[in-house]
Structure 1
Amino acid sequence: MTDAPRTVVVDDSRFMRGLITDILESGGIDVVGEAADGAEALTVVAEVEPDVVTMDVEMPRMDGIEAVERIMREQPTPTLMLSAYTEDGAEETFAALDAGAVDFFAKPGGEVSMGVSRLEEQLVETVRSVAEADLSGGAAVAAATHGGSATTTTTTDGVEPNTTVVIGSSTGGPDAVERVLAGIPGGADVRVLVVQHMPEAFTGRFADRLDSACSLAVSEATDGARVGRGEVLVARGGKHLAVTRYSGGRLRVELVDEDRGQNVRPSVNVTMESVAETVDDPIVGVILTGMGDDGATGVTAIDDAGGRIIAQDEETSVVYGMPKRAAATGRVGSVLPLDDVAGGIVGGAP
């Protein structure tokens, strides 16, 4: 692919289509087509064969969810959903991810917590990342297997007592995390922290989805929460998740509302570094699909503390950014296909 991914912008608002087009073209991205609804999007995508599609969720005639399903079935193309960062928007966005969308982003033009210029830069960066997504090993497979058994049966023979697991992910992560947790038996002696790059309105719903999909007890992290054997905490969007105490096989966490030198919040680095500093029992750090380098310093800290590091392989990653950066540290002990990661966690992979 060239440095300028060819993009189709889909939104029922002419103003929003123009705004998104201006932002993308100012960032060096080539907008080769527009559509006012999902039905028109199918025609435009078939005609221009873009590298990436930005897709609104709520549109007349055919909404974004149905459009993504059709695109993935008829002409698989990496798709970025542009959605409202609300609880209602979360439900619709997760449905779009189930249908095969690669990632999602806040619609420009609404009330946002960051400056407009930073928002525009992040949108351009995200579109470029989604354009590079490997649908053959990532999002398309995830959409085809969602709701079914995507993992192999694992045993807990190799898991050490009182093992703390930290899982970090970004683009393509919601489905990947679900598949990993679904492969961990409920009786495994693990306590798990999940850090997925996701806004605050989405992480509670994400925790609920994970809780329904696996044998572990999953909840969204709250300040001062504790997590013990067979339990999972999902980092809350907009705040870092740090472990402050470890005693009797239980972790105590705090939510940190400061940047800590990171460009994302929650950050995998912050959680992993706090675990490495606080926990004196076995630790497993896991880096799954995602763009950027979050987690690279975290895996170094865990390795320095004597823990094990697992990274998802390139073939099954939707975006091979975070796992690649982790592997480049030289601290990763196992590089595994997604459906082998759970076994690597509880089976004691080297």
Structure 2
Amino acid sequence: MRSVISDILEDGGIDVVTTARDGREAVEAVMESEPDVVTMDVEMPEMNGIEAVEEIMTARPTPVLMLSAHTDENADVTFEALEKGAVDFFTKPGGEVSMEMSRLKDQLVDMVRSVAEVDVTGDGGGHQPGRSEPSITPDSVVKNATLVIGSSTGGPTVVEQILSELPVGADLRILVVQHMPTDFTGRFATRLNKRSEYAVREAGDGDRIGGGEALVAAGGSHMEVSNYRSGRLRVALTEDDPVNSVRPSVDVTMESAAEVIDDPLVGVILTGMGTDGARGIQAIKAASGTTLAQDEASSAVYGMPKRAVETGAVDTVCPLDELSDRILDAINAEVH
């Protein structure tokens, strides 16, 4: 695998300065070679990926792209590595790695280049432990509001922070579209459910949610809002062609929400590479919804938020630590 990945990256114009057999060697190699970016396997002998990422972030903060297999165990470990400071992850194919990796080489090269641009030396606008919790009740917010969140590179920990800060008293219906492969979105939903007051689950075709509930778009499927009545919305999952080269697509969910939902609607675009979400934000704005975007300083990759802002349809651009408050402002009954 190290040889295959090295060849792919070299062919893509990336200089591979060294390789390592395990996490301990990887930490030493980072200290000696001072690379721009590291690709790190999740499971390794001597020292695993989580431990290696933690040591690298302490000794010499360097952008890390995790390489993870399609298994539940690897998904859990990958999310832990993201918590420790890894920027994103790339799912390794099973079977004959050389054949499958070659098929995915363009995606891997693009991800390595994108991750290499991330500044991991600061806190990135991360969570402030002393942040005061807002006082919110169903009586203080507009009725039947829906929140749609779209994110990609660097998004999992950001989404987790926002959902952990939103009080269930706000009575939101929440739809999350995080660019993530099949087998990972279910574990992501489980993590969000544990860390949020909201009841969070991976979306299934035909699922309905009401206030205090959230759905995470399933990897490999678009999530469309198919029906909305009396404060409850229904979603449909489709395997239509990728939109903006991704599936699930933020645009698909946001555009369908804007078309179907006639109650208050809030759209948020978070860190990520690419253009997905720009059309969706325009659709929500056109439907008289409120639109927000994460600012450049707190975004791991200022791609998706930048493209959304460039449309002129974003109401407010703000750092991560202010986003949950701005969401609550948008549904504050006194403001409206």
Residue aligning to 1:187: 169
Whole-Å separation in 1 of the counterparts to 2:134 and 2:64: 33
Q: CA RMSD in A?
A: 2.1
TM-score (norm 1): 0.89
Q: Please point out which of 278, 285, 289 is paired with 1:307.
A: 289
- 1:257 paired to 2:239: yes
Counterpart-to-counterpart distance in 2, 1:195 and 1:110: 29
Letter in 2 for 1:154: P
Could you tell me which residue of structure 1 aligns to residue 26 of structure 2?
41
Q: Is the Cα–Cα contact under 8 Å of residues 150 and 339 in structure 1 kept in the other structure?
A: no
The aligned counterpart of 2:118 is 133
The alignment status of 1:97 with 2:82, answered yes or no, reads yes
Inter-CA distance 26–152: structure 2 relative to 1 (3 Å threshold): farther
TM-score relative to the length of structure 2: 0.93
2:158 counterpart residue number: 176
Whichever residue aligns with residue 312 of structure 1, its letter is Q
Tell me which amino acid in the other structure corresponds to 2:117. E
Residues 159 and 345 in structure 1, CA contact (< 8 A), matched pair in contact too: no
What is the identity, as a one-letter code, of the residue corresponding to 1:268?
A: V
Q: 2:227 aligns to what SS in structure 1?
A: strand
Matched to 1:292, the amino acid is: G
The 3-state SS of whatever aligns with 2:45 is: coil
How far apart are the structure 1 equivalents of 2:131 and 2:256?
30
Q: Percent identity?
A: 59
Aligned partners of 2:115, 2:145: CA distance in 1, in Å? 34
| 1:313-340 residue CA offsets vs partner (Å, 9 max, x unmatched) | 1111111111111111111101111111
Q: Unpaired segments of 5 or more residues in structure 2? A: none
From 54, 62, 78, the equivalent of 2:39 is 54
* Number of the residue aligned with 2:60: 75
Contact 2:87 2:154 in 1 (8 A): yes
Aligned residue identity for 2:165: G
| Shift in Å, 1:159 | 3.8
Candidates 80, 88, 95, aligned match of 2:73: 88
Shift, 1:64, TM fit: 1.2
What are the equivalent positions in structure 2 for 1:297-336 lying under 5 Å apart?
A: 297-336=279-318
Number of aligned positions between the proteins: 329
Paired position in structure 1 for 2:15: 30
In 2, the alpha carbon distance for the partners of 1:135 and 1:23 equals 25
Instruction: Tell me if structure 2 keeps the 8 A contact 1:291–1:322.
Output: yes
Distance 2:232 2:268 in 1: 20
Task: Report the counterpart of residue 9 of structure 1 in structure 2.
Answer: none
> How far apart in 1 are the matches of 2:130 and 2:66?
24
